[in-house]
A and B are shown apart, each in its own frame.
Chain A
Amino acid sequence: GQQLNQSPQSMFIQEGEDVSMNCTSSSIFNTWLWYKQEPGEGPVLLIALYKAGELTSNGRLTAQFGITRKDSFLNISASIPSDVGIYFCAGHTGANSKLTFGKGITLSVRP
Chain B
Amino acid sequence: DGGITQSPKYLFRKEGQNVTLSCEQNLNHDAMYWYRQDPGQGLRLIYYSQIVNDFQKGDIAEGYSVSREKKESFPLTVTSAQKNPTAFYLCASSIEGHRLTNTEAFFGQGTRLTVV
Contact = CB atoms under 8 A, between A and B. Distances in A.
Interface residues of B, number: 29
Interface string B84-116: 000000101010001111111111111010000
A104 B42 contact: yes
Interface residues of A, number: 27
Contact of A101 (B43, B98, B102): B43
B74 interface: no
User: Which of B40, B102, B109, B112 is packed against the most chain A CB atoms within 10 Å?
Assistant: B102
Contact of A97 (B33, B90, B101): B101
Nearest to A44: B107
Contact of B100 (A45, A95, A101): A95
Given A40-B112, A41-B109, A42-B109, A103 B40 contact: yes
8 contacts: A31-B101, A42-B6, A45-B105, A88-B42, A94-B101, A99-B33, A99-B45, A101-B43
Interface of B: 4, 6, 33, 35, 40-43, 45, 48, 58-59, 90, 92, 94, 98-110, 112
Given A43-B43, A99-B103, A99-B105, 5 more contacts: A40-B112, A95-B99, A98-B45, A99-B100, A103-B41
